[in-house]
Amino acid sequence: MYLTSEKKAELFAKYGKDAKNTGSAESQIALFTFRISHLTEHLKKNQKDFGTERALTRLVGKRRRLLDYLKERDIERYRAIIKELGIRK
């Protein structure tokens, strides 16, 4: 499995305040970004996997909504997470 609980804890510790802070916008955006990159690599090899394509589209939408929320609330946190994760926009 590509996403173990250790990997999740590592992402939450790095982008959230600590490993227990799983609900912050930054940690959720980081988790979605990790999953998006994994699904993108999968779709490069399996072009006809339309279920995964739909899941990827939904994940991108969820991440976009979280980024929009963060942009409204705190522009500095938004800019920091964009820069740290290397997301275009």
Q: What residue ranges define each of the domains in the chain, with the CATH number in brackets? A: 23-85 (1.10.287.10)
Q: List, in order, residues 6 or more apart from 6 with CB less than 8 Å away.
A: none
Gap between the Cα atoms of 89 and 72, Å rounded: 15
pTM over 0.85: yes
Quick one: which of 53, 49, 8, 51 has its CA closest to 28?
8
Q: Does residue 17 carry a pLDDT above 90? A: no
Exposure string of 55-75, with b = 16+ CB inside 10 Å and e = fewer, is: bbeebeeebeebbeebeeeee
In the chain, the percentage of residues whose pLDDT exceeds 70 is 99
pLDDT one-digit tens code per residue, 23-52 = 999 999 999 999 999 999 999 999 999 999
CA distance 22 to 39: 21
